[in-house]
Chain A
């Protein structure tokens, strides 16, 4: 029953044997040992498993692994630069105390990444709308929203400095 699929994870091509019912999260965590994305509810409610597929955030706990075939998957591990520097969104979560227990953080950051890719300067309402599917059971939402808005500032400074933005 196992089938071989090929896709890209954090820029690297991978080839994995999967069972047809496996969700993408299982492949990421158990087969590829990328344990940043978390198994929370397992039902697409809590967002702890959020990763980007072709740039779009999805709940990887209910996303069929076989649908990842040929696609680009980005996980929290893929945000760190090659010389091991934190991504500005990660840096912002540290500076604004957007992390308490940390379980929801990878999902929060991936949702924030998808938002900021599309909307570099979101309002508080837009941040809350974009992160509505990510639960923080420590309830540290205020700092999380502040972290995302701070990330937007850091990213805009980076863009100005390096001139790579469009």
Chain B
């Protein structure tokens, strides 16, 4: 009979030991909303499945000097987290329209990132927030900026025996607006045709952009930053026309493919439109944040 051994470590230490012992024969699973389906379809057949659901160190949200999110935190707990709702609307945009309530009660942010799908909804916001990915492994702990984490579709810098433990995100400066636009055919249970995350910080005049970040999903083999468009925006007074120009630059930097969800030319056009549209939301939200 086709089956596997299901291991339930109760601590990170135990999880690392099990992963070290079983190596390539093992797969880590958090919510299992991707892994269990891949197993059923016989895409993967690990001998050991190591569940991270019962590792308390991996499931938390804290907001002190910075925001820290444990890798096994479910999308649903992020959606309901007062910290995320109040301070990180860009993450709320991403997690509240991912899958369904049922999926979000199982699926985790670490799973979403480690699967490294070009369409991962939490990737563009984490890119726009300059998130740092923290990992633990046989050689100890290390951290990389999320922009360096993805190596290709389904490929990351995670080495054998390593587990992503958490993400850390610096507090945004005052006068910052941030938003994620998930472009889909229907509101729920869909993967994005494009995912566009924009973060804009403004100077004391409320107009001059001091920092711009643009994270794009489904725009290249991995989630990516549109660095030229970011550089174009920084130092400028932001308005619709400037955002439109940034959108054109971002579209030129991207390399989307033609797939069943959308063609290359359509995606390029929509990157321009959505960078502008999401940038406009950032301006509104920055104003709201300044007034609030």
Is B32 an interface residue, CB under 8 A from the partner? yes
Contact B102 A47 (CB under 8 A): yes
Is A78 an interface residue, CB under 8 A from the partner? no
Is A56 an interface residue, CB under 8 A from the partner? yes
Known contacts: A20-B5, A45-B189, A133-B189. The answer to whether A62 contacts B105 by CB under 8 A is no
A64 and B39 alpha carbons, distance in the complex (Å): 12
Contact B103 A133 (CB under 8 A): yes
B261 CB to nearest A CB, Å: 16
A69 and B6 alpha carbons, distance in the complex (Å): 13
Q: When the two chains form the complex, which single residue of A43, A56, A57, A111 contacts B40, counting CB atoms closer than 8 Å?
A: A43
Interface size class of A (residues with CB under 8 A): 20 to 34
Known contacts: A42-B40, A62-B36. The answer to whether A56 contacts B4 by CB under 8 A is no
Contact A50 B102 (CB under 8 A): yes
User: What are the interface flags for A55-83 relative to B under an 8 Å C-beta threshold, 1 for contact and 0 otherwise?
Assistant: 01111001110110100000000000000
Known contacts: A43-B37, A63-B32, A64-B32. The answer to whether A1 contacts B100 by CB under 8 A is no
Q: When the two chains form the complex, which single residue of A1, A50, A67 contacts B3, counting CB atoms closer than 8 Å?
A: A1
Contact A64 B6 (CB under 8 A): yes
A interface residue numbers (CB < 8 A to B): 1, 19-21, 23, 42-45, 47, 50, 56-59, 62-64, 66-67, 69, 111, 114, 129-130, 132-134
Known contacts: A47-B100, A114-B101. The answer to whether A132 contacts B187 by CB under 8 A is yes
A66 and B53 alpha carbons, distance in the complex (Å): 11
Q: When the two chains form the complex, which single residue of A66, A129, A130 contacts B6, counting CB atoms closer than 8 Å?
A: A66
Q: When the two chains form the complex, which single residue of A1, A44, A129, A130 contacts B103, counting CB atoms closer than 8 Å?
A: A44
Known contacts: A19-B3, A64-B6, A64-B32. The answer to whether A58 contacts B40 by CB under 8 A is no
Is B208 an interface residue, CB under 8 A from the partner? no
Is B9 an interface residue, CB under 8 A from the partner? no
Known contacts: A44-B102, A47-B100, A64-B36. The answer to whether A56 contacts B76 by CB under 8 A is yes
Rank and list the top 3 A-B pairs by shortest CB-CB distance, nearest first. A133-B100, A132-B188, A20-B6
User: What are the interface flags for B1-33 relative to A under an 8 Å C-beta threshold, 1 for contact and 0 otherwise?
Assistant: 111111010000000000000000000010011
A58 and B76 alpha carbons, distance in the complex (Å): 11
Contact A59 B103 (CB under 8 A): yes
Q: Which B-chain residue is minimally distant from A41 (CB atoms)?
A: B37
Contact B3 A58 (CB under 8 A): no
Known contacts: A130-B101, A132-B189. The answer to whether A20 contacts B49 by CB under 8 A is yes
A20 and B3 alpha carbons, distance in the complex (Å): 7
Contact A44 B3 (CB under 8 A): no
Q: Quick one: which of B29, B49, B105, B189 has the most chain A CB within 10 A?
A: B105
A45 and B2 alpha carbons, distance in the complex (Å): 24
A32 and B102 alpha carbons, distance in the complex (Å): 22
B72 CB to nearest A CB, Å: 12
B93 CB to nearest A CB, Å: 13
Contact B4 A20 (CB under 8 A): yes
Q: When the two chains form the complex, which single residue of B33, B39, B53, B101 contacts A67, counting CB atoms closer than 8 Å?
A: B53
A112 CB to nearest B CB, Å: 11
Residues of chain B within 8 A (CB-CB) of A45 are 189
A59 and B1 alpha carbons, distance in the complex (Å): 24
A129 and B100 alpha carbons, distance in the complex (Å): 8
Contact A23 B100 (CB under 8 A): no
Is B115 an interface residue, CB under 8 A from the partner? no
Is B172 an interface residue, CB under 8 A from the partner? no
A-B pairs with beta carbons under 8 Å apart, 29 shown: A1-B5, A19-B1, A20-B3, A20-B5, A20-B6, A20-B49, A21-B6, A42-B40, A44-B33, A44-B36, A44-B99, A44-B102, A47-B102, A50-B102, A57-B102, A59-B33, A59-B102, A62-B32, A62-B33, A64-B32, A64-B36, A66-B8, A67-B8, A69-B8, A111-B101, A114-B101, A130-B101, A133-B102, A133-B188
Besides A66-B8, A129-B101, A130-B101, 10 other A-B contacts (C-beta < 8 A) = A1-B5, A19-B3, A21-B2, A21-B4, A44-B102, A58-B102, A62-B32, A63-B106, A67-B51, A133-B189
Residues of chain B within 8 A (CB-CB) of A63 are 32, 106
Within 8 A of A (CB), among B63-116: 76, 96, 99-103, 105-106
A104 and B40 alpha carbons, distance in the complex (Å): 22
